[in-house]
């Protein structure tokens, strides 16, 4: 199990790299994260949803993603509450203060998934969440040491030297852990090093002297990490390319399933920019993309509070294009209604750029979906993950076709479009046709091949700098 001395130390990437390295060694490998918190989810082959990072790790293992790889997924809906997904399906919506009482009931489900997954693999590489140093959360823990104890597995602790203070991160974790948890850690890794690794030899010796843990090595910063799908919107690196087709994305407060942006950011002829709150939408944008949202009504209100609705109307008057995906699609309509109190009830006027109306409903649609782009005939692979249905005259101008039915909507000019399908831009032929239809310069980018090549490069990077033999040898 890879745990971190803090959040965002690179656990997800370490698991993916170790998993791909083990796969190259001929092992059957599977990823596992007992509890994740993310609104960037993936739909699985067995009809549920898991964290996007575990879907990438499954790919590193050469496997299709399954719900057992992330049995508990927390999807924040407000600052104090989250939707709880258990083994791929919606279980409850709870306040943060009430979640602790659920953990005892969730641990058997976590162990059930872990055991079932283990039946199909030689090796499981587990990712922790946050840090075990948060000892105030140890009671009832299912994400870090509580799970490691229940599963009786060894832990490798990773520290992030890029943010500074890595010796204190690791030695401090050792100091605050109770003896049983401290003794479960058998090795440590230094991640994101920049410069001459030999300069940290004395640092490794100090950490080992204070903790008694073995060093698994120092992993230099992996510069191509941006080529892999991002789980956190802060990790998505768009490229501001001079003269490129300019796509701007307002960063909604509850942005979800923004993996739609990764292939666009990788396009050499595209300049993709995330617009932070407090900034106006640029007047020279070619396309404004409204992404998915975990709470459509709340994000629609935030969009208006930022003045982005005014910017969007001006963009349309100038002849610009607009694409809404999932929650963004719902916002583009005339109204969003919540009669079943999925998001607290009530209704709100939409942006009025599409003649459609959305009614939110408790049943969640989860599906891997194959479609056809009606204009070009290009095949599209994507997924649906939404609560609600959208209908209205502009649905008759949907620009995708799924099993004989029209999907999505467009206005009369065709410059404002919406769809419920996520992940569609990973389909190379479709992405080229879509961008070409907007006047953007196409490219021969093979996105999925690039992801595979980057995972192989990550595995080689891990093999070159970490003691992979020792780390894999800890498994039992």
Per the domain annotation, does 236 fall within a domain? no
341 and 388 share a domain? yes
Tell me the C-alpha distance between 259 and 416, whole Å.
21
284 and 256 share a domain? yes
Q: What are phi and psi of 6, to 5 degrees?
A: -175, 175
Tell me the C-alpha distance between 218 and 454, whole Å.
20
Domain range for residue 364?
245-440
326 among known catalytic residues: yes
Q: Which candidate, 386, 390, 176, places its Cα nearest to that of 295?
A: 386
90-144 pLDDT per residue, tens: 998 898 888 988 999 999 999 999 999 999 999 999 999 999 999 999 999 999 9
Per the domain annotation, does 238 fall within a domain? no
312 and 428 share a domain? yes
171 and 287 share a domain? no
265 and 205 share a domain? no
Per the domain annotation, does 102 fall within a domain? yes
Per the domain annotation, does 448 fall within a domain? no
328 and 458 share a domain? no
Per the domain annotation, does 53 fall within a domain? yes
292 and 158 share a domain? no
**Sign of CA pseudo-dihedral 41, 367, 455, 426:** negative
* pTM, 2 dp: 0.94
Please provide the size of the chain in residues.
476
Question: Would you state the pLDDT for residue 242?
Answer: 61
261 and 174 share a domain? no
Write the CATH number for 173: 3.40.50.300
Question: Would you state the pLDDT for residue 476?
Answer: 82
Point out the catalytic residue in the list 326, 386, 395, 461: 326
Point out the catalytic residue in the list 315, 321, 422, 461: 422
33 and 135 share a domain? yes
Per the domain annotation, does 231 fall within a domain? no
Per the domain annotation, does 239 fall within a domain? no
180-226 pLDDT per residue, tens: 999 999 999 999 999 999 999 999 999 999 999 999 999 999 999 98
255 and 121 share a domain? no
Structural domain total, the chain: 2
Per the domain annotation, does 327 fall within a domain? yes
189 and 283 share a domain? no
Q: What are the C-alpha distances in Å from 193 to residues 164, 187, 200, 465?
A: 10, 17, 9, 11
422 among known catalytic residues: yes
Please identify every stretch of the chain with a pLDDT value under 70, giving residue numbers as ranges: 80, 232-243
Question: Would you state the pLDDT for residue 77?
Answer: 82
Question: Would you state the pLDDT for residue 232?
Answer: 67
The answer to whether 334 and 328 have CB atoms below 8 angstroms apart is no
Question: Would you state the pLDDT for residue 414?
Answer: 97
197 and 270 share a domain? no
Phi-psi region of 215 (alpha: psi -120 to 50; beta: other; left: phi over 0): beta
Write the CATH number for 351: 3.40.50.880
Question: Would you state the pLDDT for residue 236?
Answer: 61
């Amino acid at each position: 199990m890879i745990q971190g001395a803090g959040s965002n130390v690179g656990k997800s990437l370490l698991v993916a790299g170790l998993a791909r390295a083990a796969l190259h060694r001929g092992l059957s490998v599977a990823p596992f994260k007992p509890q994740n918190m993310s609104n960037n989810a993936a739909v699985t082959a067995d009809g549920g949803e898991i964290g996007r990072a575990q879907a990438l790790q499954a790919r590193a293992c050469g496997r299709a993603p399954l719900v057992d790889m992330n049995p508990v997924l927390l999807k924040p809906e407000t600052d104090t509450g989250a939707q709880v997904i258990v083994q791929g399906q919606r279980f409850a919506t709870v306040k943060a203060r009430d979640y602790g009482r659920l953990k005892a009931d969730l641990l058997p489900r976590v162990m059930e998934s872990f055991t079932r997954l283990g039946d199909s693999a030689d090796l499981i590489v587990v990712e922790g969440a946050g840090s075990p140093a948060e000892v105030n959360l140890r009671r009832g823990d299912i994400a870090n040491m509580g799970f490691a104890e229940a599963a009786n597995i060894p832990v490798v602790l990773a520290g992030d030297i890029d943010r500074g203070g890595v010796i204190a991160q690791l030695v401090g974790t050792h100091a605050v852990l109770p003896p049983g948890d401290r003794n479960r850690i058998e090795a440590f890794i230094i991640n994101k090093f920049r410069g001459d690794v030999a300069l940290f030899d004395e640092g490794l010796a100090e950490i080992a002297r204070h903790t008694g843990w073995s060093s698994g090595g120092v992993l230099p910063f992996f510069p191509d990490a941006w080529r892999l799908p991002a789980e956190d919107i802060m990790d998505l690196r768009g490229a501001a390319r001079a003269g490129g087709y300019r796509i701007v994305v307002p960063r909604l407060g509850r942005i979800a399933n923004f993996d739609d942006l990764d292939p666009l950011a990788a396009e050499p002829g595209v300049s993709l920019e995330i617009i932070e709150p407090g900034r106006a939408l640029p007047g020279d944008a070619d396309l404004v993309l409204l992404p998915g949202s975990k709470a459509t009504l709340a994000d629609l209100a935030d969009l208006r509070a930022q003045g982005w609705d005014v910017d969007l109307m001006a963009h349309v008057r100038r002849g610009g294009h607009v694409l809404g995906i999932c929650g963004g699609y719902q916002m583009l309509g005339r109204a969003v209604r919540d009669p079943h109190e999925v998001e607290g009830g009530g209704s709100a006027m939409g942006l009025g750029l599409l003649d459609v109306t959305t009614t939110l409903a408790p049943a969640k649609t989860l599906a891997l979906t194959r479609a056809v782009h009606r204009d070009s005939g290009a095949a599209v692979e994507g997924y649906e993950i939404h609560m609600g249905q959208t209908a209205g005259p502009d649905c008759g101008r949907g620009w995708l076709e799924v099993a004989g039915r029209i999907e999505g909507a467009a206005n009369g000019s065709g410059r404002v479009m919406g769809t419920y399908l996520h992940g569609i831009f990973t389909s190379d032929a479709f992405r080229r046709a879509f961008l070409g239809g907007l006047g953007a310069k196409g490219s021969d980018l093979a996105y999925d091949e690039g992801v595979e090549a980057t995972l192989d490069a990550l595995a080689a990077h891990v093999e070159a700098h970490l003691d992979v033999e020792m780390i894999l040898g800890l498994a039992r």
